[in-house]
Amino acid sequence: MCRMIAYLSETEIPLSSLVLGPEHSLLVQSYAPKEMMSGVVNADGFGAGWYAPELDDEPAVYRSNAPIWADRSFASIAPKVRSATIFAAVRSATPGLPAEESGVPPFASGPYLFAHNGAIKSFRTTAMRPLRNSLSDASYSDLLGVTDSETIFALLLDRLREAKARPGDAGALAEAINETVHQVSEVCSRLGVYAALNVGATDGEAFVFTRYSTEGPGNSLYFVESGEAFPDAVVIASERLDRDDGWRPVPDRHLLVASIEGVTTHPL
């Protein structure tokens, strides 16, 4: 399992004010999560991605397989890097999958960032081969590791290529994620394998998240619009960052689309 957090606004903020600063920040969620359904801590790496559109459309990414609390370099950098679009996560590696940087979110390709909070049970001996066999040559050749998360991102990238999606087309991103989650769910259901599929992706201009699992409720996911700590912004997080009454849970088996115009949710 992992914990994820996303920020979208027209106002830039330091990475630290999102990832390190809040009362229940991603840093705190790495060692004291409140709502994880599997695992105890998120100590198997962390990452942060952000956009600098004045330079190009592709995000910058900082990833490490060390716990976030042990990375002094990030603690030094984070207050000095500002962005209006930020996506970060801490990782608890799924049993049976290696704790190495290739499996640390967020994953990046072109203008896209992606993270997955969940797991496909016994992935390497069940769903790995049928899912990876369905990948295009381009997506398959770009794989670096053996995680379920990276595989789901590769499937999503194939959908986006087929749709000829471009940054700014939130509808195309939402449709591609919807189709990807259902594809993974169908394969896992056919194999009788449990899959928790809270995923999130951004093209730098919009975020799309799902709260979904093949059995039972999905992992926790919340959002707040123009919160006390983040005015004129949308923040999405696995766990609420503070005691603001504006936080709302994403309904189970729903897809969330966040843009500068606001947030909408749709059944999956």
**Residue 57, CA atoms < 13 Å, CB-side half-sphere:** 11
Active site residue 188: no
From the list 2, 165, 174, 196, the catalytic residue is 2
Asked if residue 42 lies in contact with residue 33, where contact means CB atoms within 8 angstroms, the answer is yes
Six-digit token string for 4: 């994820």
The closest alpha carbon to 198, from 254, 145, 265, 151, belongs to 254
Neighbours of 247 (CB within 10 A): 17
Asked if residue 268 lies in contact with residue 178, where contact means CB atoms within 8 angstroms, the answer is yes
Residues labelled as active-site residues: 2
